Amino acid sequence: MSAVWKALCSRRRGPCSDSWAIKVRAASPFWQVFWNVAPFVILILLVYFFFFRQMKMAGGRAMSFGKSRAKLLQRDDKNRTTFVDVAGVDEAKEELQEVVEFLKNPKQFQRLGGKMPKGVLLAGSPGTGKTLIAKAVAGEADVPFFSISGSDFVEMFVGVGASRVRDMFEQGRKSAPCIIFVDEIDAVGRSRFSGMGGGHDEREQTLNALLVEMDGFDTTEGVIIIAATNRPDVLDPALMRPGRFDRQVFIDLPNLKGREEILKIHVKRVTVGKEVDLQKVARGTPGFSGADLMNLVNEAALLAARRGAAAVELPDFEEARDKVSWGRERRSHMLDNEEKKLTAYHEAGHAIVLAKTEQTEPLHKVTVIPRGRALGATMQLPEKDRYTQGRKRLMGMLIGLMGGRAAEELIFGDVTTGAQNDIERATRIARAMVCEFGMSETLGPRNYGSDQHQMFLGREISRNEIHSEKITQLIDAEIDSILKEAHETASQILKDHRDRLELIAELLIKYETLDGEQVMKILETGEVPEELLKNGNGHAETPVTAAEVKPEKPAG
């Protein structure tokens, strides 16, 4: 008898019969199988538990790779964006107004057989408000707004992007009339590649699916595709042909009036002083986009709150503009007397040359306080937006850039690295004048710079020289001639006004910052303005003239 049988008989009361033995022997193989199979069953249950938990944590999307990730913007009257919230892009609003009217009343356009464009491409620099104006179109039309990024289509799994494109259009048809907004479409719509460097099969399949879907659906369904990109030049030509993105709306940087209107929208959220002139703030922000102006207002509000003011004043806006444009003041970066004196003469040279040169922008501020990477700055305030530049104005810019270096040579008999950025900018302008603008009398009106842009792989695999080596030497000689002419003119201006140069430099060493109006008064009268003569007690100091200022001679 086995040991198991003896153990069972010892616990059982009464004699052990043969039938009981047979039952135990029959049951023992089941338990053996159970204990052999149980670990595997437990392991499978654990794997299933953790897999199900991961699916739950992923929001149930672990097995739905092919579903569109477009987000539906809720139509809330309180947070709805309309054309009232968009400024500085009047032409774009006029073109998109037709899309709004079609979504509201499509029969108005269909009764004469007309068709609205299937797609609208918004192109423009970053921060110009492409996404904002797309939301405004949906808000004006009061239709569902699906938003998705171009990068959401491209995955590591082949075919997922194409499936998401089909699902996105299917969702749009179910919610018609609606707007489908694809942000950064160049991530998926980049020109299909041929040539060196390889390609991305998944992206190309996704683009093919997008082309087929846009070619297949009808605008009578009330689905409008709006896409945004910063690089329309890299998009595939098939995406831009009529029947797909029929209408292209370019959103440019706002002009002076547009910047003022944008500022009026953003200042509604902050407390602004009564004496703040937004037109003056707009004048000082050429080249700012809508996002830059929003950041400007926010920085001004933070500066006013930091100093405990009850409202945001004009100096806060000016300081915020200087901070956004040139960087924050680095007062902890203290300059010794020698560096401060050198910087003062350098910036004074810029200021005087700019003030005495024709067709230059008015001076705004001269400072020797380090800001950003610069030890000092001479700032100008443009009178208006300029879309073209003449040769005289460009030469004035070059002469102004050479003022700092010319002042160092005149006063110290030496040059420093402080003019590095000035020389770089001046060289870039001079090369553009010769090679692109045709402003060279020697070389004439011919373009020599068409090969200077960045090469886009897939379009420009190789390049050929567009001019001979002799022409290259003439270009270099002409650039040198223009830069030397600007430098000589700046040096002559400073020699003729050396007394003003010394006075302005000494005042910069003492006061660190001078306004443009103060610099102009010094140049006209040769005396220190009255507002600088008053000390902290309100008493006037002894007037100082240019003749009384004697700069120290440099060592050696």
Annotated active-site positions, please?
A: 347
CA 149 to CA 228: how far, in whole Å?
Answer: 10
Distance of CA 534 to the CA centre of its chain: 44
DSSP annotation string for 112-167 = TT----SEEEEEE-TTS-HHHHHHHHHHHHT--EEEEEGGGT--SSTTHHHHHHHH
- SS3 percent helix, strand, coil of the chain, rounded to 5, is 55, 10, 35
Across 232-257, b (16+ Cβ under 10 Å) vs e yields beebbebbeeeebbbbebebebbbbe
| Residue 16 DSSP label | P
CA 108 to CA 28: how far, in whole Å?
Answer: 85
Q: Which amino acid is at 495?
A: K
Query: How many residues belong to the chain?
Result: 556
Q: Which amino acid is at 7?
A: A
Distance of CA 271 to the CA centre of its chain: 27
Q: How many CA atoms lie within 13 A of 88 on its CB side?
A: 28
Taking Cα atoms as reference points, which of 363, 295, 380 lies closest to residue 519?
A: 363
CA 96 to CA 119: how far, in whole Å?
Answer: 11
Round the CA-based radius of gyration of the chain to a whole number and report it.
36
Distances (CA, A) of 419 to 342, 344, 404, 408: 11, 13, 7, 9
Taking Cα atoms as reference points, which of 103, 131, 126, 383 lies closest to residue 230?
A: 126
